Structures are given as structure tokens and as C-alpha cells.
Amino acid sequence: TLSIELEFKQAQLETAQLLNQELQENILRRGNWGTRVFWLLLGWLISVVVVLFLEGFHYYGFHLENSVLIAFIGSTTADVVGLGYIVANYLFAKHP
């Protein structure tokens, strides 16, 4: 019985160590992906501002039809908000 208890405690310790290692790796991955997605979203938003600037001042004869401009802004906004929501949900998950 003593050896069974010792094996049980050892199994519990190994399980706790594996869980701890998994949590540490998850924290590292969250930081890496959070940073990458932040820069992706920032670049995405800067590209929208650049297109609006080019369209607004007709820089180098740049011109988009209103429907194309509305579709570009709408889809980009939806993409940024959606991706931001997904990443924020992952980074700040609610644990029971």
C-alpha cells in the first residue's frame, strides 16, 4: 500500500509538472502571437488611412469609385474588428 501511495503521488507530481509546462508554453505563445497580430492590425489600418489619403487628395491621379471605396473600408473594418476580437478572446480567456 505504501508503494501504491508513492506511485500515486509521483503520478500527481508528473501531471502537475506537465500542466505547468503547458501553461508556460501557452503564455509564451500568447505573447508572441499577440505582438504579431498587433503589428498586422496596425499595418492593415495604416493601409486604409493611406488609401483614404490618396483618394481624398487624388494624389498622382489616384481615384476609386465610391462603391469600391465603401467596400474596401467596410470589409477592412470588419476584418480588423473580427481578428482583434478573436485574438483578444484568446489572450484574455475566461477560465472557470
Tell me the residue length of the chain.
96
pLDDT of residue 27: 83
Q: Provide the phi-psi class of 58: left if phi over 0, else alpha when psi is between -120 and 50, else beta.
A: left
In angstroms, the CA 43 to CA 83 distance is: 13
**Is the pLDDT score of 18 beyond 70?**
yes
Mean pLDDT of 58-79: 92
Look up the pTM and report it.
Answer: 0.67
**Is the pLDDT score of 95 beyond 70?**
no
pLDDT of residue 1: 80
Alpha helices (runs of H) in 1-96, residue ranges in sequence order: 2-57, 66-91
pLDDT digits (tens, 9 = 90+) for 32-47: 888 888 898 899 889 9
In angstroms, the CA 44 to CA 40 distance is: 6
User: How does the average pLDDT of the chain come out, rounded?
Assistant: 88
